[in-house]
């Protein structure tokens, strides 16, 4: 008898989990990804040999529901290599069909800066520097909303001799 009761409890638990999963998927249907772009970069005081910046992200929400967040994390890759990362415990909301600017302090470790300096010399030939910005707005039942922005930065190709 106890085995039958345990089996019934397990089946009921699996049914509840399945129904919650289906409900969660249904709520995600039609959900558009956030649009995130770099709105600005401002220098901050670093420690030792590291560099620090404030990265300003313009986050656009093309959905019918506001997105609340209670933390932000960001990783920036340049030339396919990790370059900078940052976190903030900032909280707020991106309104439905609206946008907001979020500031995140970024740290560039000294070795990453040196590595990128050498890579920059190689990329100077093409004038293009590929980047990938990944991040997450933490919060909500699902743990947050992930975003990605990628492209290339055009490097100025002026003559360095000053003529």
pLDDT tens digit sequence for 126-158? 667 788 999 999 987 778 889 998 888 765 555
Same domain? For 10 and 49 the reply is no
Same domain? For 10 and 53 the reply is no
The reply to whether 162 falls in a domain is no
The residues facing 61 across adjacent strands are: 98
Q: CB under 8 Å to 114, separation ≥6 — which residues?
A: none
Same domain? For 5 and 35 the reply is no
Residue 25 CA neighbour count, 13 Å, CB half: 6
Counting residues of the chain whose pLDDT is more than 90, the rounded percentage is 39
What is residue 148's DSSP assignment?
E
Same domain? For 75 and 135 the reply is yes
Between 77 and 16, the higher pLDDT residue = 77
Same domain? For 71 and 135 the reply is yes
- Which structural domain, as residue segments, surrounds residue 44? 31-154
Structural contact between residues 126 and 153, judged by C-beta atoms closer than 8 angstroms: no
Please say if the pLDDT value at position 66 is more than 80: yes
What pLDDT is recorded for position 15?
52
Same domain? For 3 and 37 the reply is no
CA 128, 106, 60: angle at the middle one, nearest 5? Answer: 75
What pLDDT is recorded for position 59?
95
Q: How far apart are CA 149 and CA 33, in angstroms?
A: 11
Average pLDDT, the chain: 78
Please say if the pLDDT value at position 76 is more than 60: yes
| Mean of pLDDT values over 86-99 | 96
What pLDDT is recorded for position 71?
95
The residues facing 76 across adjacent strands are: 84, 133
Number of domains in the chain: 2
The reply to whether 163 falls in a domain is no
Tokens of 61: 């929400």
Same domain? For 10 and 41 the reply is no
What pLDDT is recorded for position 68?
92
Which has the closest alpha carbon to 75: 65, 63, 83?
83
Q: How far lies 95's CA from each of 61, 67, 135, in Å?
A: 7, 7, 19
Polymer length in residues for the chain? 163
Same domain? For 17 and 67 the reply is no
What pLDDT is recorded for position 162?
45
The reply to whether 7 falls in a domain is yes
pTM (2 d.p.):
0.69
The reply to whether 159 falls in a domain is no
């Amino acid at each position: 008898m106890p085995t039958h009761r345990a089996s019934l409890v397990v089946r009921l638990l699996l049914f509840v989990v399945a129904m919650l999963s289906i409900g969660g998927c249904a709520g995600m249907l039609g959900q558009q990804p956030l649009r995130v772009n770099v709105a600005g970069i401002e220098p901050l005081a670093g420690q030792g040999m590291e560099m620090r910046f404030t990265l300003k992200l313009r986050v656009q929400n093309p959905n019918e529901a506001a997105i609340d967040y209670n933390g932000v994390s960001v990783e920036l890759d340049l030339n396919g290599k990790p370059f900078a990362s940052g976190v903030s415990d900032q909280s707020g909301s991106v309104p439905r069909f609206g946008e907001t600017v979020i500031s995140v302090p970024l740290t560039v470790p000294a070795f990453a800066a040196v590595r990128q300096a050498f890579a920059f010399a190689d990329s100077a030939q093409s004038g293009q520097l590929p980047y990938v910005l990944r991040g997450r707005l933490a919060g909500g039942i699902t743990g947050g909303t992930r975003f990605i922005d990628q492209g290339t930065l055009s490097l100025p190709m002026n003559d360095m001799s000053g003529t």
